[in-house]
Structures are given as C-alpha cells and as structure tokens.
Amino acid sequence: MNKVAVGVNGYGVIGKRVADAILMQPDMELVGVADIATDWRIASVANRLPIFAATEDARLAMTVAGLRPRGTLDELVELSDIIIDTTPKHVAAGNLERYRTAGVKAVFQGGESHATTGHSFVAQANYDSALGRDTTRVVSCNTTSIVRVLGALDTAGLLLRARGVLIRRATDPWESHLGGIMNTMVPEPSIPSHQGPDAQTVLPGLDLVTIAAKGAHTQTHNHYWTIQLTRPATRDEVIAALRAAPRIAFIRISDGLVALNSTIELMRDLGRPRGDMWEVAVWEDLVTVQGDEVFLTYQVYNEAIVIPETIDAIRALTKLAPDAASSMAITDSTLGMRKDFLSAQLP
Amino acid sequence: MNKVAVGVNGYGVIGKRVADAILMQPDMELVGVADIATDWRIASVANRLPIFAATEDARLAMTVAGLRPRGTLDELVELSDIIIDTTPKHVAAGNLERYRTAGVKAVFQGGESHATTGHSFVAQANYDSALGRDTTRVVSCNTTSIVRVLGALDTAGLLLRARGVLIRRATDPWESHLGGIMNTMVPEPSIPSHQGPDAQTVLPGLDLVTIAAKGAHTQTHNHYWTIQLTRPATRDEVIAALRAAPRIAFIRISDGLVALNSTIELMRDLGRPRGDMWEVAVWEDLVTVQGDEVFLTYQVYNEAIVIPETIDAIRALTKLAPDAASSMAITDSTLGMRKDFLSAQLP
C-alpha cells in the first residue's frame, strides 16, 4: 500500500494523540514529531518516536538533555508529504508559508482562523471539498461536536434552528497547575460565542447561536441545546437521526453515567488510550421532544474529539481515500470508535 | 406601629438571613428562632437572639451545652403571629398541621411542594393573592429569579417563550466539607427540570422550559436564557423592561464583573451582611437581541434571593401592608437593595 509520510509539528495535547493515531493507520507513516520541549513530555516518547527539534535553539537544548533529535523542523518537513501542525494558536498560522514554500501539504487545528486555510474540515460534513487541497483546518472540539450533532438532524431534514449553551472546561488537565477556574463560572464576554459562526464555516446553512461559559472543572465540555425542528417529530425520529450519523455515541443516565466524570471513568475502564473519547456522547435518556422542539445534552472530550477528523483530513488532502465513508471506515475501526456506551452493549 | 410577632423555625442558611432581615423591619418583632443544633451555629447568636429548642431532645442538649433555650417550638408558636419555617425539605411540610392547630400563620420555603400551601409567592408577581391567607410558600431561589426576570419581560408584553439552562451551585458553602461536586458537571436527570413548572405556580401563563445541571462551584447559580419575544424588539426596549422591574440589578463585564466570583467579592466589599446579594444580577452587556430573540445571562445568590420575598410574605399573610409596592418599599429600603452595581453608580 502506498503510505503517506506524515510529520507532526507540536507534541502537545493534540499532537501526541495525532501521532499515536497515525501509528495505527495502515496507509500512513509517522516520519517524526517536532517540538521545543526537552522535559518528560518528549523524554517519555524519545525511545519510540522519531523526535525533531522545532527550532535550532531547541535542537541544542534537546541534545544537551540527551534526547538526540534527528534534525530540525526543516528536515522533518523535507521528509513529509503532509504536516499536521498542532503548535499553539497563531504559532501555527505563522508556519503556513514555510509549508507552502517546501511544497508540503498541511493540516491546521481549530485555534487558527478559517481564513488561514480557506477551508474548515469535519470529515462527515465536507470531506469531498477537501480532496487534494494543499491545506485545511480541523475545526475545534466544540465546533466538531456541533457539526456532528446538528449536522445529523439537518441531514434528516429536521433542523430549523438551534440555540446552545456550552459549558467549557476550565483548562486542560495537564496544565491545571498553571491556574484554572476554581469555584466559579466565567461567562464568555459576548453572545454569540465563536463556536456558532465557526460551525457555519463547515455547514453554512445552519441557523444556530451559541452561548458559552467556562466552568470549574478540567475535563470535557458539556453542551445544552434547545433545537427547533422543521416540524413536530417523535423522540424516536430524533434518536434515529442521531443514530444514523457517525461518531455520535449514546450514553444513559439510567446506566449510571450520571455526570462528566462517570463517562471519563468508563473510558479509562475500556482501556482507551489516555482515557480518550473520540465520539460525541449524547445522553439518550435526556433527549426530550416537545412538539417541534428537542432538548439535547452531550459531552465533548476536548482533547480527543478532533483526532479522527485530523486523520481523515490527511486522507482528504493526500487523496489516500476517495470519499469520507472509506476514510472514516479505516479511522473508526483502527481507533475502535463506538456507536454507543450503553450497558447492554458493553464492553 | 402594630408589630407582628414572627418566629423562625430552623436557623440554617435561610433561617439566619430571615431572622436578621426581620430585625431590620419596623413593623415586625422577632420573638425567637428554633433549631436543633447546639454548636457554633447557635452559640454564635445565643447572646443576641431569643433561642428556642425545636424538640424536647434539643432542649435538653441545648441546656447541657449552656445555651439556655427559652422553651420549645410549641412555646415559640404560642408567642408568634406567624412562623417562618426554614427547616429542611419535607420536615417543614410535616409542621403544617401543628401551625394550623395552633392558629398561627406560616410561610414555607421552596423545598416544599406547591400543594403543601396551595399558594406560591413572589412579591412582585402575586402579593395580592396572598393577602390574609394562612399559609404561603416562597418559591426557591432559581424560581424566584425566573419569575422576576421573565415576569419583567412578560409585563412589558415582550415574552412569547423562554428556554433556559441553569447551572446550579454544587452545594452550599457552609456544607462544602460534606462533599460536593468536584471537577465535573452533573446534568439533572430530566428535562424540563423542576424550576420551569415551579415558576408556573406563580405565573401560570409562562411558556418556559428549564434545563438544569450542577457545576463544580459552591457559590450562586448561573442562568443562560434564550427567549423568544412576541415581536422584534430593540436591545434598549429589553433593557428598559428589565430596569422597570424591581429586584433586578445590572452588572457589566466591562466593569470587571467577569464571573460569579467577582460579583461575590463586590458584595463583600459593599459590606452586605454575609456578602449577600438579594437582587438578580443581570449582565447588561451580555443582553443580546437578534430580531425577536433575546439572550440573557444572570446570577442568582441562592442563599439570599428569597429573603426579601419571605419578608414580604409575612406582610401579605398578616395584612401588614395592603399591596406589593408598599411592602417591597419597606423591605428594599431596610435591606439596601439596588437597581444596579455599575461602576458609575457605586457605592
């Protein structure tokens, strides 16, 4: 099989997950990961991953730390057919010209603006329009979840308009010592929050407004949606529309999955890498329909949900797979994605 | 002036605030507070308040603890024209018959059902229908806030329907050692949550649905509303409708009141008793209008918001004041209620 050579620039929350997912793909080869860190973050994987220094300074520091980098970012770019840039917000956009000059394709993350690449990506929504492009941008965790869930209702012809309240996690778990949000809630300073317009970069027709706030917890986002349907519908119809869409998995309060932490613990018990949940977890027994309105509650694992999209974006840009279905089939089976986490179906 | 003799049964989060507020009213006399606690909770006020034991056992325990109770609940009831029952949920309902038999009026709190009293109370909404009744129930903190805010839009003829997401505090601050909710969010197990139907016990005509969850913070609730208006309106009209209603006070993110904790700190700086906020604090700069929709974000101080309502309920049941406006005028001026906490108006 023709393997695509993939380099990952930035070995942080997203980068390390992307690297591991690439290692699981039969049609991709991980040629290296680049970063500037020289501590446990890189030392813990230096024996199993090809490490590159993102800068000349980092190369010196890594060498001093005994990490033996194989080269710098320029050399990683040269070895790669495509670069996944998971460096911090705005750092990534600054790398765009370097990738263009080197003639390498590039996938950016949701921290960058739509304008950086001119294309925003969610596999099930618009894989086709990314086919063969030089660059795309995998939208953020919250936006990905919105496109999956509202897109499912839209595909079923049920969505008229949606209004959502997004309670975001305070900070990422690994950065919690830097200070997060304790014992309070922090509303975003404007309505709509950015996730609504961001989802429209993928599904321009959606009528949606998002209101966001940060909560005093570090793991996963939590969305509460009020959705007006195009017509009165039954609860079964709504559930069927969600079930028909990929990468949405049902959970139930009646199964004891009563809060964000119980789902997180289940992922650990299932042996998921890092306890990740790539699916959007919709509480099936909270799906409530009143006439032409549906109320939805779901959980978004912000560290993990964009990983499958990033893998599919690689296939779209490099034309490794001709359509979303064939790419997603490989991604979902290699990662072990599920359609539900109901007790009757576990493990 | 003819003073009404008021007894408070239950000296907890609500009871102690009610007792202090009664002491500030020119037309009320606090004849005593009853409880079963014998520790710091009672010891800290035994010198300044008339203490009664809620039970015979408690009388013995209080005496052993050196608290010198003046009698038991039966004796407090005998001395009182009206009892404010702030004992725990369901304990209060069990006391109803005792008050009836003794011929004393009684005000219950939102933990009891509407059926317990047949009347639910928010001063500005239905003071008149409580006039001279034997009992009423001051609705819960969240419900009080909903009636105030949605009632204001309804009074202005603007409210068609409202859908709200209520992020509740995990536990009360003083009980935090008993265990609360840490680093997670806990959705309520059904939609609509009980606050919507509860608000309809006061304003039966409201079309509203509430979705609730508990957050990992201990102080104050936080509401996010999507409201459909009866017609397209301007932002100024909506703000004017809220400003016209009592017991709603504006705050602004642009004044640095950026989260629940900043408002809490402001209340402490203003010298409020226990740092209480009796008003609903609406973020004025988050009031967002799109056509016939308005998005509202506000903060509810769960420990304090029902205190003015409870004082007004005393006046309604005992006919101390003939209408809501005259009762609320006394309550609001004695407590020092405000219409806004904008920097330009402080202190």
**B68-80 pLDDT per residue, tens:** 999 999 999 999 9
How far is the alpha carbon of B149 from chain A, nearest alpha carbon, in Å? 18
Backbone angles phi, psi at A252, to 5 degrees: -135, 135
Question: Which amino acid appears at position B314 of this protein?
Answer: I
Query: Is there a domain that residue A310 lies in?
Result: yes
| Residue B211 contacts A where some CB pair is shorter than 8 Å | yes
Are B59 and B98 part of one and the same domain? Answer: yes
Query: Is there a domain that residue A313 lies in?
Result: yes
Using an 8 Å CB-CB cutoff, list chain B residues near A162. none
B218: domain CATH number? 3.30.360.10
CB nearest A165 (choices: B184, B224, B293): B224
Under 8 Å between Cβ of A209 and A145: no
Query: Is there a domain that residue B261 lies in?
Result: yes
Contact B184 A290 (CB under 8 A): no
Helices B306-318 & B13-23 angle (0-180, nearest 10): 60
| Residue B176 contacts A where some CB pair is shorter than 8 Å | no
Contact A213 B258 (CB under 8 A): no
* Closest to B20 (Cα-Cα) out of B2, B45, B3: B45
Are A43 and A57 part of one and the same domain? Answer: yes
Contact A259 B184 (CB under 8 A): yes
Residue A1 has pLDDT above 80, yes or no: no
Largest CA distance in chain A: 66
3-state secondary structure of B315: helix
CB nearest A183 (choices: B184, B218, B290): B218
B300 CB-side CA count, 13 A: 25
Contact B185 A167 (CB under 8 A): yes
Query: Is there a domain that residue B347 lies in?
Result: no
So what's the pLDDT on residue A115?
96
Cα–Cα distance measured from residue A304 to residue A326, given in angstroms and rounded to the nearest whole number: 21
How far is the alpha carbon of A237 from chain B, nearest alpha carbon, in Å? 18
So what's the pLDDT on residue B58?
97
Contact A297 B260 (CB under 8 A): no
CB contact set of B104 (below 8 Å; sequence gap of 6+): B7, B77, B80, B81, B82, B83
3-state secondary structure of B23: helix
Under 8 Å between Cβ of B196 and B141: no
How far is the alpha carbon of A273 from chain B, nearest alpha carbon, in Å? 21
Distances in Å between the Cα of B205 and the Cα atoms of A76, B27, B165 are 66, 34, 20
Tell me the pLDDT tens digit for each residue of B198-256. 999 999 999 999 999 999 999 999 999 999 999 999 999 999 999 999 999 999 999 99
CB nearest A222 (choices: B185, B226, B293): B185
Place of tokens 């409202």: B162
**DSSP secondary structure letter of residue B245:** S
Cα–Cα distance measured from residue A148 to residue A300, given in angstroms and rounded to the nearest whole number: 11
A197 CB-side CA count, 13 A: 8
How far is the alpha carbon of B260 from chain A, nearest alpha carbon, in Å? 5
Report the C-alpha dihedral over residues B126, B322, B140, A221, rounded to 10 degrees: 70
Is the C-alpha dihedral spanning A18, A24, A27, A31 positive or negative? Answer: positive
| Residue B222 contacts A where some CB pair is shorter than 8 Å | yes
Query: Is there a domain that residue B8 lies in?
Result: yes
Counted domains in chain B? 2
Are B61 and B100 part of one and the same domain? Answer: yes
| A85 in a known ligand binding site | no
Residue A34 structural domain: 4-139+306-335
| Residue B301 contacts A where some CB pair is shorter than 8 Å | no
| A302 in a known ligand binding site | yes
Are A191 and A259 part of one and the same domain? Answer: yes
So what's the pLDDT on residue A239?
98
Under 8 Å between Cβ of B33 and B49: yes
| Residue A47 contacts B where some CB pair is shorter than 8 Å | no
Are B294 and B163 part of one and the same domain? Answer: yes
Query: Is there a domain that residue A341 lies in?
Result: no
Under 8 Å between Cβ of B330 and B26: yes
Is the C-alpha dihedral spanning A146, A148, A149, A151 positive or negative? Answer: positive
Residue B129 has pLDDT above 70, yes or no: yes
B125: domain CATH number? 3.40.50.720
How far is the alpha carbon of A19 from chain B, nearest alpha carbon, in Å? 28
Q: For B282-286, what is the mean pLDDT?
A: 97
Under 8 Å between Cβ of B22 and B5: no
Query: Mean of the per-residue pLDDT values for chain A?
Result: 96
> Which residue of chain A has the CA closest to B289?
A191
How far is the alpha carbon of B288 from chain A, nearest alpha carbon, in Å? 6
So what's the pLDDT on residue B1?
60
Are A145 and A216 part of one and the same domain? Answer: yes
Q: Report residue A347's pLDDT band, with 50, 70 and 90 as the boundaries.
A: confident
So what's the pLDDT on residue A2?
77
3-state secondary structure of B283: strand
Helices A13-23 & A306-318 angle (0-180, nearest 10): 60
Are A155 and A292 part of one and the same domain? Answer: yes
Which strand (E) or helix (H) includes residue B212? strand B208-214
Residue A325 has pLDDT above 80, yes or no: yes
Place of tokens 């809490």: B264
Are A190 and A255 part of one and the same domain? Answer: yes
3-state secondary structure of B76: helix
| Residue A192 contacts B where some CB pair is shorter than 8 Å | yes
Cα–Cα distance measured from residue A24 to residue A69, given in angstroms and rounded to the nearest whole number: 23
Q: For A228-232, what is the mean pLDDT?
A: 98
> Which residue of chain B has the CA closest to A287?
B191
Which residues of B are tagged catalytic? 141
> Which residue of chain A has the CA closest to B282?
A187
Are A204 and A78 part of one and the same domain? Answer: no
Query: Is there a domain that residue A346 lies in?
Result: no
Q: For A81-95, what is the mean pLDDT?
A: 95
So what's the pLDDT on residue B345?
83
Cα–Cα distance measured from residue A90 to residue B184, given in angstroms and rounded to the nearest whole number: 30
Residue A232 has pLDDT above 90, yes or no: yes
ipTM score: 0.92
Query: Mean of the per-residue pLDDT values for chain B?
Result: 96
Using an 8 Å CB-CB cutoff, list chain B residues near A295. 163, 191-192, 209, 211
Q: For B267-272, what is the mean pLDDT?
A: 95
Percent above pLDDT 70 for chain A = 100
Are B133 and B168 part of one and the same domain? Answer: no
Backbone angles phi, psi at A236, to 5 degrees: -60, -40
| Residue A171 contacts B where some CB pair is shorter than 8 Å | no
Contact B224 A213 (CB under 8 A): yes
Provide the CA B97 distance to its chain's centre, in angstroms.
24
Contact B191 A288 (CB under 8 A): yes
Contact B181 A259 (CB under 8 A): yes
Are A135 and A156 part of one and the same domain? Answer: no
Are B151 and B284 part of one and the same domain? Answer: yes
CB contact set of B4 (below 8 Å; sequence gap of 6+): B27, B28, B29, B81, B82, B314, B315, B318, B320
Query: Is there a domain that residue A54 lies in?
Result: yes
Q: For A234-243, what is the mean pLDDT?
A: 98
CB nearest A191 (choices: B182, B215, B286): B286
Using an 8 Å CB-CB cutoff, list chain A residues near B219. 183-184
